[in-house]
């Protein structure tokens, strides 16, 4: 929800809201986007979460949901940009490094994927998904060198 001088404001109460935009406030957009993502509609989720991110550009939770929706709708370059934003805003977010590495991997840039996956594994060596992804990227890089 956006904070105005006198407390939370609602974009739908604003006279300059875009016609045809989603109804409700930013929190409702976020909730709808997360539900769409959970229900298997990542492209629709990405569309509404992008609106939420535009309205609340500093929200890491909105950005993470947007990045996941972009990734799941195979918009890997967009997902990488969103995960990069999270990493820049909070360099201790292991999941953002993992998401960035996975997104770069899916774009085919194994060299770029290696570093964020290495950082994610260094931060959370107990997570098998992180370790497995890093091993696969390293194996691909070795195979390319051979």
Q: How far apart are the first and last CA of the chain?
A: 53
pTM: 0.82
List pLDDT tens digits, range 36-68.
999 999 999 999 999 999 999 999 999 999 999
List pLDDT tens digits, range 6-15.
333 444 444 3
């Amino acid at each position: 929800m956006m904070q105005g001088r006198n407390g939370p404001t609602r974009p739908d109460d604003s006279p300059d809201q875009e016609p045809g935009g989603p109804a409700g406030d930013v929190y409702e957009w976020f909730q709808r986007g997360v539900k769409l993502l959970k229900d298997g509609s990542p492209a629709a989720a990405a569309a509404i979460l992008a609106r939420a991110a535009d309205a609340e550009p500093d929200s890491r939770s909105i950005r993470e949901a947007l990045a996941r929706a972009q990734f799941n709708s195979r918009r890997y370059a967009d997902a990488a940009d969103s995960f990069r934003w999270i990493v820049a805003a909070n360099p201790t977010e292991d999941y953002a490094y993992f998401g960035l590495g996975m997104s770069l991997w899916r774009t085919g840039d194994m060299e770029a994927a290696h570093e964020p996956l290495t950082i994610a594994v260094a931060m959370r060596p107990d997570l098998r998904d992180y370790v497995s992804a890093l091993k696969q990227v390293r194996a691909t890089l070795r195979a390319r060198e051979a």
